[in-house]
Amino acid sequence: MHPRNEISVKEQLAGKRILITGTTGFLGKVVIEKIIREIPDVEKIILLVRGNDKYPTARERFDHEIALATIFDRLKEEKPSFFRQFCKEKIECITGELTQKNFGLNKEEFSELSGRIDMVIHVAASVDFREQLQKALKINTLCLLNLADLVKAAGNIPMVHVSTCFVNGFNTGDCREEVVVPVTRGFKRNSKGFYQVRPLIAKLEKKIRKVEKNCSRPDQLAECLVELGSKESHRYGWNDTYTFTKWLGEQVLMEELSDSTLTIVRPAIIESTYQEPVPGWVEGVKVADAIILAYAREKTPFFPARANGVIDVIPADFAANSLILAAAEAFAMPGTHRIYQCSTGSTNPITVGRMVNLLQLESNRNAEAYEKLYPKGKPKRNFRIVDRRLFIAAMSALKGVVTVYDGACKMTGMKNRIRKMTDFVNTTMKLAITFSFYASPQYVFHNHNLMDLASRVTPADSSTFPVDARIIEWESYMGPIHLTGLNRYALKARKTALQQAQENIRIPGVAQIPAVGGSLESGTAL
């Protein structure tokens, strides 16, 4: 027996059949691993995964991509038989496409699926800051209509939806766990608190069709749709297409599931794990890592940011724990909408300047320990934070120098020099374009509601599923933990790391560096 109103996470999730999306991605894998290891009495984990050219079925993708991920190494070492049996008996894989009605299943298959699930945890997203607008809308906003149909067909079962703290857009100051009020006017708010965004979505779709009609070349069309997304995001009060379409998605879900149990969990910038299953586990290159790689490879010595601004970074295991606590609460106390922000800024803040200093300190001390991150040894130049206005002035002047050199080098044959200068300018500008908003924070994400939830679970569950950022020791996390994780898990080989960084975000004519997000993590997980 537990005290009144105390939630037992393991008891609430035992015997439940939970459908999870986005499990080919970083956060999705952390969630699965934690459930398998700590809640073995769950009845079934149902994974909705699209097939690809290499692995056409969801089961094949699970066996060859998800189950082979290094995050499961601890389970395989400690409980090999249990892990194999769990995957065989309790992991069910459904091949489906989130963006298609009924996920591409026929009516009978969809009806059968809806009749045997108890909850949906939606992690999948496109987190490319410079995604084409129609793709971002489809994945981050419109596909939620299909998930809402599933929730309703299943009898208004609970849904936990992963959003991002950055749906707060250009709002400044204190950002709390509530429906975000856009900085721009003109949005009509419903009496239940959410915003009616269907007319805006229709307007965006009309603009997309116009661009598609006017652009004949595929490469030109893609860039035009990227620029349209950026333009419309700024117009309505968001930094990028990702955060704009995630805000739209929140409104769509709150409208569609107005009578259901809906929990929206907004992580901040998700980085490597702090404790579980091992410290520093990471997959792919995340937000801070792009700057780290640029510094490690000596691509650029400075970056525009607010050194005293609080950058909100959250370890992936804290984000996964937040989802699991929210899922347990949804079963224990159904019938309402809740919003949680999984963040560090209000309880254990770290500034941009301190983060950079800690990373550089560890690099200067132990660069040789991170042979993949620093293949040439300790960087010879420090990575400096500069005022944004000074940065713009300096880069404008440097562009002028490069232009002059361009003509001179063509005449003198000094191609290598101009190539290096161009690479420097392009890389630095790309960092600025992609990350300056997140490195110049003027907001604080509060997590009072999440802390209240954590106080209402059993003491054992509070220890097993920690979400309190006050336990994070930044000297360890932003030093040996994170850099070891990058070196061990993310950077398999220098060539692989650079190729991955180049593929995640593409801006024509600009040297490429990694995309970010998820919840500011790289890639699209479906």
Q: How far is CA 272 from CA 69, 77, 281, in A?
A: 15, 21, 5
Q: Check whether 158 has a pLDDT greater than 80.
A: yes
The band of 516, judged by pLDDT with boundaries at 50, 70 and 90, is very low
Q: State which fold the 9-525 domain adopts.
A: Rossmann fold (3.40.50)
CA distance 62 to 49: 8
Out of 203-212, 335-344, 431-440, pick the least confident: 431-440
In which residue are the tokens 């702090």 written?
A: 274
Where is mean pLDDT largest: 214-228, 312-326, 346-360? 312-326
The band of 524, judged by pLDDT with boundaries at 50, 70 and 90, is very low
Percentage above 90 pLDDT, the chain: 68
CA distance 380 to 378: 6
Q: Check whether 507 has a pLDDT greater than 90.
A: no
DSSP state of 288: H
Determine the pLDDT at residue 381.
Answer: 78
CA distance 521 to 164: 11
Q: Where are the domains of the chain?
A: 9-525
- The residues near 170 (Cβ < 8 Å, ≥ 6 apart) are 183, 237, 238, 239
Q: pLDDT (tens digit, 9 = 90+) per residue, 68-83?
A: 999 999 999 999 999 9
Mean of all residue pLDDT scores within the chain: 88
Helix (H, G, I), strand (E, B) or coil at 333: coil
Q: pLDDT (tens digit, 9 = 90+) per residue, 463-506?
A: 999 999 999 999 999 999 999 999 999 986 544 444 444 444 33
Determine the pLDDT at residue 499.
Answer: 46
386 forms beta bridges with: 304
Determine the pLDDT at residue 495.
Answer: 46
Q: Which amino acid is at 19?
A: L
Q: Check whether 514 has a pLDDT greater than 70.
A: no
Q: Check whether 375 has a pLDDT greater than 60.
A: yes
- The residues near 79 (Cβ < 8 Å, ≥ 6 apart) are none
Determine the pLDDT at residue 295.
Answer: 78
Contact 176, 448 (CB under 8 A): yes
Q: pLDDT (tens digit, 9 = 90+) per residue, 435-453?
A: 778 888 889 999 999 999 9
Determine the pLDDT at residue 505.
Answer: 39
What are the two backbone dihedrals, phi and then psi, of residue 18, each rounded to the nearest 5 degrees?
Answer: -115, 125
Determine the pLDDT at residue 518.
Answer: 39
The pLDDT of 136-141, averaged and rounded, is 98
CA distance 205 to 202: 5
Q: pLDDT (tens digit, 9 = 90+) per residue, 14-71?
A: 999 999 999 999 999 999 999 999 999 999 999 999 999 999 999 999 999 999 999 9
Contact 385, 418 (CB under 8 A): no
Q: Check whether 195 has a pLDDT greater than 90.
A: yes
**pTM for the full predicted model:** 0.89
Upper half-sphere CA count for residue 384 (Cβ side, 13 Å):
9
Question: Across 343-393, where does the E strand assignment appear?
Answer: 384-386
Determine the pLDDT at residue 284.
Answer: 84
Helix (H, G, I), strand (E, B) or coil at 219: helix
Q: Check whether 520 has a pLDDT greater than 60.
A: no
Other beta carbons less than 10 A from residue 42's beta carbon? 19
Q: Which two tokens stand for residue 260?
A: 């259901």
Q: How far is CA 416 from CA 108, 401, 405, in A?
A: 63, 15, 11
The band of 397, judged by pLDDT with boundaries at 50, 70 and 90, is confident
In which residue are the tokens 């804290």 written?
A: 318
Q: Check whether 1 has a pLDDT greater than 70.
A: no
Helix (H, G, I), strand (E, B) or coil at 342: strand
